[in-house]
Amino acid sequence: MGLGERGGWDKSESRYCGVETEFEDDMPRLLSYNLSSSGFDFVVAPLMDPTYRPSLLEAENGSSHVLPFAGSDLVLSPSQWSSHVVGKISTWIDLDSEDEIFRMDSETTLKQEIAWASHLSLQACLLPSPKRASCANYARCVNQILQGLSNMQLWLRIPLLKTDEDSLDVDSDDLRDSWELWNSFRLICENHSQLSLALDILSTLPSVNSIGRWFGEPVRVAIVHTDSFLTNARGYPCLSKSHQKLITGFFNHSVQMVLSGKPLHNIPAESTGSAANHIDKNVNNVERHPLRSYLDYVGYLYQRMEPLSEQERIELGYRDFLQAPLQPLMDNLEAQTYETFEKDSVKYIQYQRAICKALLDRVPDGKESAITTVLMVVGAGRGPLVRAALQAAEETGRKLKVYAVEKNPNAVVTLHSLIKLEGWENVVTIVSCDMRLWNAPEKADILVSELLGSFGDNELSPECLDGAQRFLKQDGISIPSSYTSFIQPITASKLYNDVKSHKDLIHFETAYVVKLHSVAKLAPSQSVFTFNHPDYSTKKSNQRYKKLHFVIPCDTGSAIVHGFAGYFDATLYKDVHLGIEPSMSTPNMFSWFAIFFPLRQPICVQPGSPLEVHFWRCCGSTKVWYEWCVTSPRPSPIHNSNGRSYWVGL
Ligand SMILES: C[S@@+](CC[C@H](N)C(=O)[O-])C[C@H]1O[C@@H](n2cnc3c(N)ncnc32)[C@H](O)[C@@H]1O
């Protein structure tokens, strides 16, 4: 059973699907019935007889009773318990009941069952859904248990439910938005990383926006009820298009499935065996598990998914993994990093297209042999942009003189051998120097650079190009000619917990490079800072300040903001752009992941009411840094004041 976090969707893995069962005191029988021939990977089974109440038993037997657990620990091997059984905590418990005896019984039972599950080394227990909106005592007790828990996960069961605001009485006590229930529970439990979610998928689904929120939450399992299934023309269970999309989304996020409920479909006794039918037929007439056709359908949805591309496979290990940002000026990149960049052919194709257009604008047709364009690649690395420039010259028939300027002496070694190998000695001059300090022997027509970070200007492209602008002709062209950063609020429980695990302020005030995956994007991104090159304005400054208002769509419901995802888009030249802002990202380009600006305290936002955010780009004599804060719906502290935690050295 892949109950821990899986790396992600992978066709070579077996699927992980469990079944929810009734209490059965013969555990080995329960397992053999549901697993071996029936195809499930694990059972979600009650650990204790549901008729048991501590107070009744104590009254009858005093304290010397044996708890009515489902068999002793000896009935299964430790690995069977741990791989094939998820403990289902008694559903009758209500720790917020008005009835004190019942409440005490509930607490005792919860603790006894979890203690037993820990003794068995189960990987997870399913906690029943809170019975009421006010569930402080339940959450308090679970939090207490979490403090002493070794590795086990607690999956809080929550129905996937959100009603339209106007479809309920104002005074009704009915649950309107189950996310609120989850949110208050996990806040009381201080976002404990071993508290996660089991979502009950019902026959009616909430809006797409509202479902989207859950993808930023720690959903471990989706419990699909048989009554959520429709019936296809052949009498077999199937799911609506929106349910299919949801289940596929869960598969993509390593969420396991559990089937629950009684079979509601009368499967035709005889199957035709038609190839068009996706259901795996029981040709041998062996008695089938009553939920087998439901399991087959879920398996079919799994198999039907597009396999991951090679690039996605490579990136699997980076998903939702916080990476320390680069210090590109202070540090020198390693060969391995250059190699990764150089594999991204899409990036260089875009640069080549931009350089072609610039060359054609610079040198009109008919003047090809009369004019030599001086092109400088500043920050040339190991030479891929030099190659792109020379290919553009060949493509357009323009004559080129190239300077390759690079401050990393190790990359310069590679540049020298590349130029020899390619026979570019007569066209390319290598300059081993920081572009801000170089005294160029002549001025450039075209200045080509790629000094961009995930947030555009965060690797100090503006400061470096300010230094290089001195040797660009007055009418010269900079590629890129501009770049803009973007942010959007996100729910990102995993990232938040990872930042929090460091237990210090520094980590909450650092921007991380992350391959975002299990996040909910709560509103469209908005532009933050733009830089244009060249920039001859007299009051030029690279300091920036921007105030932004995000509005969470009304049908989303309330949501929690753990921080901001950051992106960039760069205009290389005219209509040639390159970037990672999701709505206009360059397809198949992989050089940049997004950036993540965390918040020290997650902020809950109501739909329709604005989230006001401030971002500053600050510049000192030795460093550049960002500061950020939220002012509405409630103020947050300023993050990274004076660049005390995170900065980029000049
Ligand atoms: C992101 S890499 C790009 C390398 C290469 N152009 C490519 O596309 O693969 C940026 C390069 O610029 C260099 N660099 C950064 N700041 C520089 C500066 N001020 N002067 C010269 N080179 C610089 C770095 O050492 C690094 O090799």
The DSSP annotation for 475-540 comes to EEEEES-EEEEEEEEEE-HHHHHHHHTT-SHHHHT--EEEB--S-EE-S--EEEEEEESS---TT-
Return the CATH number at 630. 2.70.160.11
Q: How far is residue 246's CA from residue 615's CA, in Å, rounded to a whole number?
A: 35
Atom 17 of ligand 1, nearest CA residue:
379
130 in any annotated domain: yes
Q: Is 436 in the pocket of ligand 1 (CB under 6 A)?
A: yes
Using a 10 angstrom Cβ sphere, with 0-12 exposed, 13-18 middle and 19 or more buried, the burial of residue 417 is exposed
Q: What is the DSSP string of 114-156?
A: HHHHHHTT-SEEEEPPPSSS--HHHHHHHHHHHHT--S-EEEE
Read off the pLDDT of each residue in 422-444 and give the average, rounded to a whole number. Answer: 98
Crossing angle (nearest 10°) for helices 241-252 and 292-304: 70
Which one of the listed residues 20, 107, 113, 459 is annotated catalytic? 459
Give the residue among 583, 521, 601 at the shortest CA–CA distance from 556: 521
Read off the pLDDT of each residue in 21-44 and give the average, rounded to a whole number. Answer: 91
450 as an active site residue: the answer is yes
pLDDT of residue 58: 67
Q: How far is residue 480's CA from residue 206's CA, in Å, rounded to a whole number?
A: 44
Q: Is 450 in the pocket of ligand 1 (CB under 6 A)?
A: yes
Residue 575 belongs to what domain range?
484-649
Q: Check whether 512 is labelled as a binding-site residue.
A: no
Q: Are residues 557 and 600 both part of a single domain?
A: yes
Return the CATH number at 429. 3.40.50.150
Q: Is 435 in the pocket of ligand 1 (CB under 6 A)?
A: yes
Indicate the number of domains in the chain: 3
Q: Is the pLDDT of residue 33 over 80?
A: yes
Read off the pLDDT of each residue in 234-256 and give the average, rounded to a whole number. Answer: 96
Omega of the bond prior to 54 within 30 degrees of 0, cis? Answer: no
Give the residue among 390, 389, 384 at the shortest CA–CA distance from 344: 384
225 in any annotated domain: no
> In this structure, what DSSP letter does residue 48 have?
B
pLDDT one-digit tens code per residue, 573-629: 999 999 999 999 999 999 999 999 999 999 999 988 899 999 999 999 999 999 999
Q: Is the pLDDT of residue 130 over 60?
A: yes
Read off the pLDDT of each residue in 313-334 and give the average, rounded to a whole number. Answer: 92
Q: Is 201 in the pocket of ligand 1 (CB under 6 A)?
A: no
Q: Is 451 in the pocket of ligand 1 (CB under 6 A)?
A: yes
Q: How far is residue 650's CA from residue 348's CA, in Å, rounded to a whole number?
A: 27
Q: Which two tokens stand for residue 199?
A: 């979502």
Q: Are residues 516 and 411 both part of a single domain?
A: no
Helix (H) or strand (E) holding 360: helix 345-362
pLDDT of residue 566: 98
Q: Are residues 439 and 552 both part of a single domain?
A: no
Omega of the bond prior to 633 within 30 degrees of 0, cis? Answer: yes
Which one of the listed residues 217, 450, 463, 509 is annotated catalytic? 450
Q: Are residues 579 and 529 both part of a single domain?
A: yes
Q: Which of 165-179, 205-219, 484-498 has the lowest mean pLDDT?
A: 165-179
Cβ burial 475-505 (10 Å sphere, 16+ → b, else e) = ebbbbbbbbbbbbbbbbbbbbbebbbeeeee
Q: Check whether 646 is labelled as a binding-site residue.
A: no
Q: Which of 349, 434, 451 for mutating ligand 1's site (highest number of atoms within 8 Å of CB)? A: 451
Q: Is 341 in the pocket of ligand 1 (CB under 6 A)?
A: yes
Residue 64 banded pLDDT, cuts 50, 70, 90: low
Q: Are residues 26 and 146 both part of a single domain?
A: yes
Q: If you measure from the C-alpha of residue 450 to the centroid of ligand 1, how many angstroms do you get, rounded to a whole number? A: 7
Cβ burial 334-352 (10 Å sphere, 16+ → b, else e) = eeeebeebbebeebbbbbb
Q: Which two tokens stand for residue 59?
A: 């009254």
Mean pLDDT in the chain? Answer: 92
Q: Are residues 414 and 548 both part of a single domain?
A: no
Q: In ligand 1, which atom is closest to the CA atom of 438?
A: 20
Q: Is 385 in the pocket of ligand 1 (CB under 6 A)?
A: yes
Q: Are residues 436 and 573 both part of a single domain?
A: no
The CA dihedral of 203, 208, 214, 220, to the nearest 10 degrees, is: 50
Q: Check whether 539 is labelled as a binding-site residue.
A: no
Q: Are residues 571 and 428 both part of a single domain?
A: no
Q: How far is residue 224's CA from residue 238's CA, in Å, rounded to a whole number?
A: 12
Q: Check whether 406 is labelled as a binding-site residue.
A: yes
Q: Is 157 in the pocket of ligand 1 (CB under 6 A)?
A: no
Question: Count of CB atoms within 10 A of residue 179's CB?
Answer: 24
603 in any annotated domain: yes
Return the CATH number at 58. 3.20.20.150
Atom 12 of ligand 1, nearest CA residue:
379
318 in any annotated domain: no
Cβ burial 314-326 (10 Å sphere, 16+ → b, else e) = ebeeebbbbeebb
Helix or strand or coil: residue 647?
coil
pLDDT one-digit tens code per residue, 514-544: 999 999 999 999 999 999 999 999 888 999 9
510 in any annotated domain: yes
pLDDT one-digit tens code per residue, 261-308: 999 998 766 554 443 344 444 445 557 899 999 999 999 999 999 999
307 in any annotated domain: no
Q: If you measure from the C-alpha of residue 583 to the centroid of ligand 1, how many angstroms do you get, rounded to a whole number? A: 28
> In this structure, what DSSP letter does residue 585 have?
P
217 as an active site residue: the answer is no
320 in any annotated domain: no
Q: Are residues 425 and 496 both part of a single domain?
A: no
489 in any annotated domain: yes
Q: If you measure from the C-alpha of residue 480 to the centroid of ligand 1, how many angstroms do you get, rounded to a whole number? A: 14
Q: Is 407 in the pocket of ligand 1 (CB under 6 A)?
A: yes
Q: Are 254 and 8 in contact (CB under 8 A)?
A: yes
Give the torsion sign (CA, 63, 69, 71, 73). negative
Q: In ligand 1, which atom is closest to the CA atom of 467?
A: 19
Q: What is the DSSP string of 65-114?
A: PPP-BSS-GGGS-HHHHHHHEEEE--TT--TT-S-HHHHHHHHHHHHHHH
Q: If you measure from the C-alpha of residue 382 to the centroid of ligand 1, how many angstroms do you get, rounded to a whole number? A: 9
Q: Are residues 133 and 192 both part of a single domain?
A: yes
Q: Are residues 34 and 155 both part of a single domain?
A: yes
Residues 6+ apart with CB under 8 A from 636: 599, 600, 601, 603, 629, 630
Q: Is the pLDDT of residue 2 over 50?
A: no
Q: Which two tokens stand for residue 37?
A: 């021939």
pLDDT of residue 587: 96
Q: Are residues 400 and 488 both part of a single domain?
A: no
Q: In ligand 1, which atom is closest to the CA atom of 332?
A: 25
Q: In ligand 1, which atom is closest to the CA atom of 436?
A: 19
Q: If you measure from the C-alpha of residue 466 to the centroid of ligand 1, how many angstroms do you get, rounded to a whole number? A: 15
